[in-house]
Homo-oligomer: A and B are copies of this chain.
Amino acid sequence: MKAEIIAVGTELLLGQIVNTNAQFLSRACADLGVSVYFQTVVGDNESRLTEAIRIASSRADLVICTGGLGPTQDDLTKDVLAAYTGQKLHIHQPSMDKIEAFFRNRGAHMVESNRRQALMLEGSDPLPNDTGMAVGVALTHEQTHFILLPGPPKEMKPMFERYASVWISAKMGEVRPLYSRMLKFAGIGESLLEHELIDLIQDQTDPTIATYAKEGEVAVRLTTRASSEAEAEKALAPVESEIRSRLGQYIYSNEDIPLEEEIIRLMQNKQLKLAVAESCTGGLVSDLLTAVPGSSAVFQGGIVVYTNEWKNRLLSVPLDVLEGTGAPGAISDVTARLLAENLLKQSDTDYAIAITGVAGPGESEGKPVGLVYIGVAQKRGETVIKQLQLAGNRELIKLRAAKSALYQLWKLL
């Protein structure tokens, strides 16, 4: 099946927002086995939207529109498709009831234009909106399938995942839903990961295997179609265990969560406490950990020892380690160890992480940009010290150093 995605909205043509909907839908179509050949963006304009729909239906079997389902006069997508296909518009009563209830419950007056959000085309199937008011539309007209989705991602995504994808699969003669599994990796880069799995990736048919990289983490996603959870398991399990046998030491979760969330979860379950001392990462590790709701049960606190004076005064690293000819310096395994071990003692936690290094742009202590030392001290066990040479700009080195430190901690848990 060939698809085209049309995003409707003048704010896209003015460059006020980025078209992330097109990315989401393209990826979702790939999962369904649908090939996207074109993406189009058009403004809130009747004649140009009509033209976009005409061109799309001449070259695609499936046309997915996002945007223009709201209550205002600018929201034209349903009207345009109705005129284009010759199908009349009518009110979808369950959606209308929901909209009225929404206003009633808030004791607010419902402006008449809100009724527009309950409009449906004759002969179409409704796509429920679980996170908003405008009902979606699925319609087949002269061999072309049309899907109309709302523009806001928080309404569009669940509507696609829960309803539109099922409708499209059925039109493809495919009633088995998609099952997918995410394996999250830390401590390994995307290129090495791909290298280790290249034979699996190249030979993939079912399940499909895709790698993703963002913000210092890498993920592998396995996707298959199956009639039941058990059947999906049968297809996914052998591939997952082959991947685990090669790279299991780097897999921290089979859910799509960041490493810091998994660490907080593990430590909370074991009732373990953590403290952090940061130099080159400048507070980023603490920021990542405290982004996880409930982290206060685990994370006690952090110290950003940015200067040598702070390293000395707050965490008792001797000045003759930090400075002077022949001294190891602030960026050294000795300092990483002292920061971690002194913080552990002082804070009486189960683990303490320390990071010191050169984030750039210039070198420091004559040491190169990207050189980073990580120390993890533990109440019951030896301190682990790791030396890394990271690539990237200041921002990326901070992020990679932070994720690497979290990875060293995770390995010990």
Which residues on A are within 8 Å of B, measured CB to CB? 12-20, 22-30, 36-43, 45, 48, 51-52, 55, 59, 276, 278, 281-287, 289-291, 293, 295-296, 299-307, 309-310, 314, 347, 359-362, 394-395, 398
Contact = CB atoms under 8 A, between A and B. Distances in A.
Contacts of A27: 14-16
Q: How many copies does the complex hold?
A: 2
B23 A15 contact: yes
Contacts of A347: 310
A282 B288 CA distance: 8
A310 B304 contact: no
Nearest to A55: B55
A45 B43 CA distance: 26
Q: Which 9 interchain pairs have the tightest Cβ spacing?
A: A282-B290, A283-B286, A15-B27, A15-B26, A283-B283, A39-B41, A302-B304, A301-B310, A283-B287
Nearest to A311: B301
Most buried by B among A23, A37, A41, A398: A41
Contacts of A309: 300
Given A39-B41, A283-B283, A301 B290 contact: no
A14 B30 contact: yes
- Most-contacted residue by chain B among A17, A28, A40, A281 (CB, 10 A): A40
Given A37-B43, A39-B40, A307-B301, A18 B18 contact: yes
Given A284-B283, A394-B293, A40 B43 contact: no
Nearest to A27: B15
Given A18-B19, A23-B15, A40-B39, A282 B293 contact: no
A13 B39 contact: yes
Contact of A361 (B29, B282, B284, B293): B293
A362 to B, nearest CB: 8
Contacts of A24: 15
A55 B52 CA distance: 11
Given A25-B15, A310-B301, A42 B38 contact: yes
Contact of A310 (B30, B284, B300): B300
A296 B309 CA distance: 12
Contacts of A310: 300-301, 347
A26 to B, nearest CB: 3
Contacts of A296: 306-307
Contacts of A55: 55
A153 to B, nearest CB: 12
B306 A303 contact: no
Nearest to A309: B300
A39 B39 CA distance: 8
Given A282-B290, A307-B296, A22 B25 contact: no
